[in-house]
Amino acid sequence: MSYTICEKILIKHNNNKDLYPGQFIHANIDLIMVHEQLGGIIQEEYRKLNIDYVWDPNKIFFILDHWFPAPTISAAQRHQKCREFAKEYNFIHNFLQNEGISHQVLPEKGFAKPGMLIVGSDSHSTTYGAFNCLSTGIGASDVIAIFATGKLWLKVPESYKIHLTGTLPKNVMAMDFILKFIGDISTKGALYKSLEFHGEGLSSISIDGRMSISNMVVEAGAKFGILIPDKKLENWLKSRGLNSLNFTYPDDDATYEKEMTYDLSDLTPIIAKPHNPGNLAHINEVEGIKIDQAFLGSCTNGRLEDLRIAAEFLKGNYVHPETRLIIIPASKEIFLNALKEGLIEIFIKAGAIIGNSTCGPCIGGHLGVLGPEEVCISTTNRNFKGRMGDPTSKVYLASPATVAISAIRGKISDPREVM
């Protein structure tokens, strides 16, 4: 038999029993990430089970990231409930204070090891696919079942193979690729599927960029987005203290339901127009639209590479007087590195607002909620109606380069013009 990466990793987590796409299994979970969801349904329902333990406190990664520090009383109450539960059930890996966004902090701390099956109480838990893990998002009841048993029911998905060639042109980023992909295939084009990314084009993309790709696969409906490992990944993981690495590759004759090829060299800056991440536009179709707010951050694009490229644009420039630019490094580590490299100083001098590492405005929670009719260009993952604030506001999704230049000009602008 020949297998895709997804099938190989699932077999390992199915007590080494063979499986096929469409089959239901009870998979053994290696690691579960849980955030503020814990303080809602999860803690309340878990207590009703009347069990005074969790299956393995060492396999739970717990972090507060969505509304940190609390912007409202109800968010603060949620955090209180989270802390109580984590203490009561002896969670070991607690990231309670200002560490950053789950999908950034978890891999940074070396928790995402190749070959693992990781789930999280957040839809963007697909991000860990960049580290050759199989990972996806689940709901509160799933988290409860895993806390009690360590197992999750799931259907084995079919796989799509996406082959990348070429290299990205200057100021065109991994975000442009994944927005193009989602626009092409549509937001339901990869429903339930496991996406496998291959090719020398992939190797040309940084780990930061790869995380944007695996992060966004869920916006095409995918269950997993897993990337072929290489030397660059190996070096990154070693720098996180992970040395005995066991990468998973697909078999040469594995079965894919669909195969697609993209030449990265052909890509241009891409925008997702309101109110759907698949509402694709090329930059020239939306150039000149006036913006009230620009946001650079989130689990999708708040990494060091993103901040560096923004700093290239912002150095010696100033944010347009009728636009506010909010920049949020995705983790404390990124924040500190940005400080050391002088990026934060560049941002502050350019008039940007720097927030602590949190999901912030991405979910309309705090630090930049949009008012009626306001327009925002954002490096985040969703531009649903009302996502970042008032239901009449409009969000355009774009790469960090496009967001930075747009903030300077006060209107949606092409980052390739500034070279």
Partner 1 sequence: MKEIEGNVYLMGDEVNTDDIVPSKALTIIDIAKMAQYTCENIDPDFIQKVNKLNIIIAGENFGCGSSREEAVRVFKYFGIQAIIAKSFARIYFRNLINQGIPAITLDWNHGDFSEGDHLKITLESGKLLNLTKNKIKQFEKLPEFILDILEQKGILNKLKNSL
Crossing angle of helices 140-149/41-48, nearest 10°? 40
| Alpha-carbon gap, residue 374 to 368, rounded angstroms | 11
| Alpha-carbon gap, residue 361 to 359, rounded angstroms | 6
Closest to partner 1 by CB, 317 or 393 = 393
Q: Quote the Cα angle for 297-217-213, to 5°.
A: 55
Closest to partner 1 by CB, 59 or 387 = 387
The total number of residues written for the chain in this structure = 419
Strand, helix or coil for residue 370: strand
Is residue 271 a contact partner of residue 281, using CB atoms and an 8 Å limit? Answer: yes
Is residue 379 a contact partner of residue 216, using CB atoms and an 8 Å limit? Answer: no
Q: Which two tokens stand for residue 257?
A: 């339901």
Closest to partner 1 by CB, 37 or 214 = 37
Q: Considering only CA atoms, give the Rg of the chain.
A: 21
| Alpha-carbon gap, residue 75 to 81, rounded angstroms | 10
Least distance CB 408 / partner 1 (angstroms): 29
Is residue 313 a contact partner of residue 87, using CB atoms and an 8 Å limit? Answer: no
| Alpha-carbon gap, residue 342 to 97, rounded angstroms | 24
Closest to partner 1 by CB, 125 or 399 = 125
Closest to partner 1 by CB, 127 or 413 = 127
The CA-based diameter of the chain, rounded to the nearest angstrom, is 62
Least distance CB 304 / partner 1 (angstroms): 26
Which residues of the chain form contacts with partner 1 (CB under 8 A)?
Answer: 24, 36-37, 39-41, 45, 48-49, 51, 67, 72, 74-75, 77-78, 81, 120-123, 125, 137-142, 144-145, 148-149, 153, 187-188, 191-192, 221, 223, 276, 363-365, 382, 384-387, 391
Least distance CB 403 / partner 1 (angstroms): 21
Least distance CB 393 / partner 1 (angstroms): 11
Least distance CB 194 / partner 1 (angstroms): 11
Least distance CB 298 / partner 1 (angstroms): 13
| Alpha-carbon gap, residue 334 to 305, rounded angstroms | 10
Least distance CB 63 / partner 1 (angstroms): 15
Closest to partner 1 by CB, 89 or 347 = 89
Sheet holding 353-354, edge to edge: 280-282, 270-272, 394-397, 375-378, 293-296, 324-327, 353-354
In the block, tokens 């002896």 appear at 90
360: left (phi over 0), alpha (psi -120 to 50) or beta: left
Closest to partner 1 by CB, 112 or 140 = 140
Strands, E, within 114-150: which ranges? 117-120, 134-137
| Alpha-carbon gap, residue 132 to 116, rounded angstroms | 8
Closest to partner 1 by CB, 87 or 385 = 385
Least distance CB 341 / partner 1 (angstroms): 33
Least distance CB 55 / partner 1 (angstroms): 12
Closest to partner 1 by CB, 395 or 412 = 395
Least distance CB 392 / partner 1 (angstroms): 10
In the block, tokens 């950053």 appear at 100
Closest to partner 1 by CB, 35 or 320 = 35
Least distance CB 9 / partner 1 (angstroms): 17
What stretch of H or E contains 246? none
| Alpha-carbon gap, residue 329 to 303, rounded angstroms | 6
Closest to partner 1 by CB, 78 or 394 = 78
